[in-house]
């Protein structure tokens, strides 16, 4: 059933207070589809729907919703009902939802929860949401190295239902320090009396709790893991990040990079929920910075006013030249920033990067210079001016590529997010310098 058709069907059944019909839909519509539908329902419609959905289904749907949407739903419930739902959700997902509540709302709901589960959420709330600690779940499986394999299997049966993933069995000492790891597959196939210490792999790939979430996601991908243990500075096992978190993490990080590259601060909520005033705050600062940075373009034009008066035809090609410079810069900076984000390049690769981009820019400039020269001939403005334009576009392309390749790397060294070097800023910088190159070349060749 198509989404719009399904949405109309749900609304119709809610309107007619047909609880049995909604219950039938619950059996046929998967939780992901419910998560897509609920944000489009009005608050009264959601309230009615929550009365009819089984508690288990409500908890499942809440985990699939955007945290801010799930938090809005919790606000419509009694504190005890909200607490019961959070208890039915994985701790990491529940923490994401609680973070969207006010401090008072969150504490009231946590007080109504079982103490052990509330403590788990409080511990996760202690870490920034964009760190490995903020994304981990404490629902992991750990055993002592002194257990036999058959004893470990018995222990796993007792806790497996509470764990988010049992593919990996972690080995810890009495102080919860991470000693090793082994797969469930190896554990169940080994001889019953084999000690865990003889089965485990002591060289465990783990991530620090304070590490950026993107580092954790890349480690999961790089080492092809289903889960990644999270440890503190003393090696204590705190939780795990599972492979299903990777897509969410990478989507968030990619979204932030794209928004910064576009000259806007990242949104902390979905676009459709963002109010115009929030969009204004996220964009206005960058626009003012770009305005100030671009103001020198008009100053440059004024400085070369005599050249423009002597050869009005020079003005014909200004939009093309600065457009080409901006586009080349945008292409290069987007590629470089993305490669830095996935740790494909570092400051030590600067010479290789510059060499590669200069070689590419030379080939690009050859094509563009030829096209621009042909354009000037077609317009009948003279070979001399055509030569000015061709040489200018060559220099501008090379200059734009150099600036866009080096500046993000330099900013990384200064501990500034390289994504801040947005495409609009690169474009603005290249516009002004491109005009200087253009008019300086015209002075030399046209003797202005």
Is the distance from CB of 151 to CB of 193 less than 8 angstroms? no
Q: Which of 174, 194, 234 is nearest to 182 (CA)?
A: 194
Ranked by mean pLDDT, which of 229-238, 381-390, 422-431, 437-446 comes out on top?
Answer: 229-238
| DSSP codes, 380-422 | T--HHHHHHHHHHHHHHHHHHHHHHHHHHHHHHHTT--GGGS-
Reported as type and span, the H/E element at residue 237 is strand 237-242
> Pairing relation of β-strands 207-208 and 227-231?
parallel
Structure confidence at residue 130 (pLDDT): 84
Is the distance from CB of 13 to CB of 46 less than 8 angstroms? no
In this predicted structure, the answer to whether residue 258 has a pLDDT above a threshold of 70 is no
Structure tokens at 246: 């990777």
pLDDT tens digits along 205-214:
999 999 988 8
Spatial separation of the C-alpha atoms in residues 205 and 243, rounded to whole Å: 14
Confidence class of residue 170 from pLDDT cuts 50, 70 and 90?
very high
- Indicate the pTM of the whole model: 0.62
CA distances from 187 to 144, 163, 176, 203 (A): 13, 17, 20, 17
pLDDT tens digits along 301-331:
777 777 666 677 888 888 888 888 888 988 8
Q: Which of 297, 135, 156, 144 is nearest to 213 (CA)?
A: 135
As a whole-number percent, the residues of the chain with pLDDT over 70 amount to 85
Count Cβ atoms below 10 Å from residue 226 Cβ, excluding itself: 13
Structure confidence at residue 270 (pLDDT): 62
| DSSP codes, 316-367 | GGHHHHHHHHHHHHHHHHHHHHHHHHTTS--GGGHHHHHHHHHHHHHHHHHH
Radius of gyration of the chain (CA): 30
N-to-C CA span, the chain: 71
What domains are there in the chain, each with its CATH number? Answer: 3-130 (1.25.60.10), 142-244 (3.10.580.10), 271-446 (1.10.357.20)
> Pairing relation of β-strands 227-231 and 168-172?
unpaired
pLDDT tens digits along 326-380:
889 888 888 888 788 767 788 888 899 999 999 999 999 999 999 989 988 888 8
Structure confidence at residue 300 (pLDDT): 74
Which comes out higher in pLDDT, residue 381 or 96?
Answer: 96
Spatial separation of the C-alpha atoms in residues 414 and 406, rounded to whole Å: 13
Spatial separation of the C-alpha atoms in residues 427 and 429, rounded to whole Å: 6
Buried b (16+ CB within 10 A) or exposed e, 93-110: bbbbbbbbbeeebbeebb
């Amino acid at each position: 059933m198509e989404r719009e058709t399904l949405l109309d069907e749900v609304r119709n059944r809610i309107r007619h207070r047909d609880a049995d019909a909604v219950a039938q839909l619950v059996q046929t519509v998967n939780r992901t589809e419910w998560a897509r539908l609920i944000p489009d329902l009005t608050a009264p419609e959601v309230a009615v729907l929550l009365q009819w959905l089984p508690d288990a289904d409500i908890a499942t749907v809440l985990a699939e919703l955007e945290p801010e949407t799930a938090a809005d739903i919790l606000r419509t419930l009694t504190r005890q009902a909200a607490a019961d739902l959070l208890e039915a959700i994985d701790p990491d997902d529940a923490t994401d939802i609680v973070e969207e509540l006010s401090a008072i709302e969150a504490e009231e709901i946590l007080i109504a929860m079982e103490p052990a589960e509330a403590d788990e959420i409080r511990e996760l709330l202690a870490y920034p949401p964009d760190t490995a600690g903020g994304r981990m779940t404490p629902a992991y499986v750990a055993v002592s190295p002194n257990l036999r394999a058959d004893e470990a299997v018995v222990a796993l049966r007792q806790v497996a239902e509470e764990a988010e993933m049992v593919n990996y069995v972690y080995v810890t000492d009495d102080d919860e320090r991470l000693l090793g790891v082994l797969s469930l597959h190896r554990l169940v196939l080994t001889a019953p009396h084999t000690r865990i210490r003889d089965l485990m792999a002591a060289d465990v790939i783990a991530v620090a709790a304070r590490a950026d979430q993107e580092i954790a996601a890349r480690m999961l991908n790089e080492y092809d893991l289903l889960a990644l243990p999270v440890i503190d500075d003393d090696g204590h096992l705190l939780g795990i990040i599972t492979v299903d978190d990777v897509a969410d993490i990478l989507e968030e990080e990619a979204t932030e990079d794209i928004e910064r590259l576009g000259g806007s601060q990242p949104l902390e909520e979905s676009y459709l929920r963002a109010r115009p005033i929030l969009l204004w705050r996220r964009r206005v600062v960058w626009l003012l910075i770009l305005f100030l940075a671009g103001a020198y373009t008009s100053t440059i034009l004024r400085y070369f006013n005599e050249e423009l008066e002597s050869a009005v035809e020079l003005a014909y090609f200004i939009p093309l030249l600065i457009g080409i410079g901006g586009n080349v810069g945008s292409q290069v900076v987007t590629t470089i920033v993305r490669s830095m984000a996935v740790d494909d390049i570092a400051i030590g690769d600067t010479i290789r990067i510059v060499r590669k981009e200069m070689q590419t820019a030379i080939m690009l400039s050859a094509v563009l210079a030829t096209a621009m020269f042909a354009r000037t001939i077609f317009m009948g403005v003279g070979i001399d001016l055509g030569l000015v334009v061709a040489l200018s576009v060559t220099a501008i392309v090379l200059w734009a590529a150099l600036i866009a390749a080096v500046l993000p790397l330099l900013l990384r060294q200064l501990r500034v997010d390289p994504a801040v070097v947005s495409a609009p800023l690169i474009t603005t910088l290249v516009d002004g310098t491109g005009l200087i190159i253009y008019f300086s070349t015209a002075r030399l060749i046209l003797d202005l």
